[in-house]
């Protein structure tokens, strides 16, 4: 009997990935089916369905699930889910597909899955805007007072992605045939929920925390992890190894930076360096909930949520991603509710007067005494070739990151926001 938190949805790990004879038979069948090209986002979603990371999802959402998730954080059957998982196709493809058809889903020439189509529903511009307002609009200064639609169409990557979707969503169960490039490119880091659960069990962990990362680890990240190590059995540093927005640091560089940090500054038995294959949606608080939902499937029962979790620009309040956990529906049924709880940590920084890492809850010194730490601020300094302030990161990690930036032939301007700069402290 496992002491780990149960997978989300009450059905165990729902894994759509085929193996052996089943895989060979499906591959042969897929060659004769209508082929539909999917986005990079959908590719990551398919892999997560394949390995059980999106349990209990067995396919892309129908209209009732899409609407319920956007409106009430619940699918049609009442199961909690915070972000729509949908598959968009153009109208020509949709018109050529009948309900009940099986189709092949491809990504850049790779057969990813087959899908049995159960529903088609159009997504008008108004539908897309409604989804954006429900999923991406926050409480930050760029979301309020009518500013959202002035700013988001150009500056919010999640909104840009949704508004660019094709005109029809198709729903149905999938049979996944590929995990993409991840097993080969990230051996020992790309781990499935079954693998992380086995690792936790082997180490005797039952209370596990996860740190979400899309930036290189700086001192605040390190501090958050060490807080969690003190109160949990162990921590999984779980990096996004799918696609990011221009200007973000690629996964292989970030993964190596984490390895350097673990090697030099952690007790290795208490931390696991892992990666997952999704693209960022930049949904701020909603994405924080998604991070907790699929981390539950990986065996995690505490999701570290700090300042501006999964944020972009100034669309979200500094701690909106913490507060949203207090507002989600609870049915009282563990099979339907989110069981992974947030570990809420205040704004952290290095304080010269405290002579160490601190937070707004523990430090009473003035702003001038503090080194404000953020991934955006670090990327901005590295990209501009600016001096990195003392105590921002570990020297071994910064040296590794500087090598990456020195090798770039083109650089993307990194936009600063109030939360990253410390202006809103």
pLDDT tens profile 119-171: 999 999 999 999 999 999 999 999 999 999 999 999 999 999 999 999 999 99
Using the 3D structure, point to which of 150, 180, 210 is the last residue of a domain.
180
- What is the Cα–Cα distance from 348 to 51, expressed in whole angstroms? 34
Q: How confident is the model at residue 414 (pLDDT cuts 50, 70, 90)?
A: low
Q: Are 273 and 50 in contact (CB under 8 A)?
A: no
Residues 70 and 214 in one domain: no
Does residue 298 sit within a domain? no
CA distances from 67 to 62, 73, 132, 325 (A): 9, 9, 12, 20
Residues 37 and 93 in one domain: yes
Residues 78 and 31 in one domain: yes
Q: How confident is the model over 295-331, as pLDDT tens digits?
A: 999 999 999 999 889 888 999 999 999 999 999 999 9
Sign of the Cα torsion 409, 313, 48, 105 reads negative
Strands 302-305, 208-213: pairing kind = parallel
Grouping H, G, I as helix, E, B as strand and the rest as coil, residue 37 is strand
Does residue 320 sit within a domain? no
Q: Which residue has the tokens 């002491």?
A: 3
Give the per-residue pLDDT at 411.
66
In total, how many domains does the chain have?
Answer: 2
Residues 174 and 202 in one domain: no
Report the percentage of the chain scoring pLDDT > 70.
Answer: 96
Average pLDDT on 276-292 reads 95
Q: Are 217 and 397 in contact (CB under 8 A)?
A: yes
DSSP H stretches of helix in 181-244: 182-185, 193-203, 219-231
Does residue 227 sit within a domain? yes
The whole domain housing 406 covers 191-280+346-421
Average pLDDT, the chain: 93
Grouping H, G, I as helix, E, B as strand and the rest as coil, residue 168 is strand
Give the per-residue pLDDT at 423.
57
Residues 200 and 150 in one domain: no
Residues 77 and 141 in one domain: yes
Residues 211 and 241 in one domain: yes
Q: How confident is the model at residue 425 (pLDDT cuts 50, 70, 90)?
A: low
Give the per-residue pLDDT at 380.
81
Residues 24 and 119 in one domain: yes
CA distances from 286 to 164, 332, 374 (A): 20, 21, 20
Q: How confident is the model over 30-82, as pLDDT tens digits?
A: 999 999 999 999 999 999 999 999 999 999 999 999 999 999 999 999 999 99
The better pLDDT of the pair 422, 147 is held by 147
Long-range contacts of 326-334 (CB under 8 A, 24+ apart): 328/73, 328/80, 328/82, 328/289, 329/72, 329/73, 329/74, 329/80, 331/78, 333/10, 333/78, 334/6, 334/10
Using the 3D structure, point to which of 180, 202, 228 is the last residue of a domain.
180
Give the per-residue pLDDT at 387.
85
Residues 169 and 230 in one domain: no
Active site residues: 214-215
Residues 218 and 155 in one domain: no
Give the per-residue pLDDT at 386.
83
The CATH number linked to 369 is 3.40.50.620
Q: How confident is the model over 329-352, as pLDDT tens digits?
A: 999 999 999 999 999 999 999 999
Does residue 388 sit within a domain? yes
Give the per-residue pLDDT at 287.
96
Residues 369 and 406 in one domain: yes
Residues 368 and 228 in one domain: yes
DSSP H stretches of helix in 31-100: 40-51, 63-72, 91-95
For residue 80, the 8-state DSSP code is: B
């Amino acid at each position: 009997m496992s002491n780990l938190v149960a997978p989300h949805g009450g059905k165990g790990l729902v894994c759509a990935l085929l193996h052996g004879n089943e895989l060979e038979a499906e591959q042969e069948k897929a060659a004769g089916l209508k082929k539909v090209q999917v986005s990079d986002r959908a590719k990551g979603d398919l892999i997560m369905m394949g390995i059980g990371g999106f349990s209990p999802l067995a396919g892309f959402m129908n209209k009732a699930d899409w609407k319920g998730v956007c409106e009430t954080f619940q699918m049609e059957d009442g199961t909690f889910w915070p972000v729509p998982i949908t598959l968009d196709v153009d109208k020509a493809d949709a018109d050529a597909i009948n309900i009940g058809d099986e189709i092949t889903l491809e990504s850049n020439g790779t057969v990813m899955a087959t899908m049995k189509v159960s529903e088609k529903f159009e997504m008008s511009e108004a539908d897309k805007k409604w989804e954006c307002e429900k999923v991406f609009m926050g409480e930050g200064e760029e979301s309020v007072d009518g500013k959202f639609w002035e700013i988001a169409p150009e500056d919010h990557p999640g909104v840009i992605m949704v508004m660019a979707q094709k005109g029809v969503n198709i729903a149905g169960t999938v049979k996944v045939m590929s995990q993409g490039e991840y097993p080969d490119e990230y051996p020992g880091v790309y781990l499935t929920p079954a693998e992380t659960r086995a690792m936790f069990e082997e180490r005797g962990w039952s209370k596990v925390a996860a740190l979400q990362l899309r930036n290189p680890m700086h001192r605040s990240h390190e501090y958050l992890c060490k807080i969690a190590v003190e109160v949990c059995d162990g921590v999984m540093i779980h990096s996004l190894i799918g696609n990011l927005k221009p200007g973000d640091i690629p996964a292989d560089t970030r993964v190596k930076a984490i390895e350097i940090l673990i090697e030099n500054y952690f007790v290795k038995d208490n931390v696991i360096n892992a990666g997952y294959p999704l693209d960022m949606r930049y949904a701020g608080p909603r994405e924080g909930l998604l991070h907790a939902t699929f981390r539950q499937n990986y065996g995690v029962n505490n999701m570290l949520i700090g300042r501006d979790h999964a944020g972009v620009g100034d669309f979200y309040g500094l701690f909106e991603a913490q507060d949203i956990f207090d507002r989600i529906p609870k049915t009282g049924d563990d099979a339907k509710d989110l069981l992974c709880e947030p570990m809420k940590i205040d704004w952290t920084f290095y304080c010269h007067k405290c002579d160490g890492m601190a937070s707004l809850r523990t430090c009473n010194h003035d702003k001038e005494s503090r080194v404000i730490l953020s991934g955006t601020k670090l990327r901005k300094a590295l990209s501009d070739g600016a001096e990195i302030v003392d105590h921002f990161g570990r020297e071994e990690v910064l040296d590794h990151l500087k090598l990456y930036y020195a090798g770039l032939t083109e650089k993307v301007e990194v936009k600063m926001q109030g939360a990253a700069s410390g202006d809103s402290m």
